[in-house]
Amino acid sequence: MNCRLGCGACCIAPSISSVIPGMPNGKAAGERCVQLSDDNLCLIFGSPERPAVCSDFEASLDVCGHSNKEALWLITNLESQTS
């Protein structure tokens, strides 16, 4: 499965503990990443500054569902179950 352009759920729902440019302490679950553009595209995609956790993420139906809304719900649910 390929990421849906403009989804951004993986840049909002999960907590990220690694340094993100502009977010030296990472980000909390549910907090929008500062590197997520207004049209929900990663501003540092392909950059060496992008955290490994982001680069390593692979879209899959069980995590991303069939829509952006479902992806946000699924990832938020997974985050709450693992925190």
How far apart are the C-alpha atoms of 14 and 16, rounded to whole Å? Answer: 6
Which residues, other chains included, contact 62 with Cβ-Cβ below 8 Å and sequence gap of 6+? 74
Overall pTM > 0.85: yes
> What is the mean predicted confidence (pLDDT) over 18-42?
97
Per-residue model confidence as pLDDT tens digits over 64-76: 999 999 999 999 9
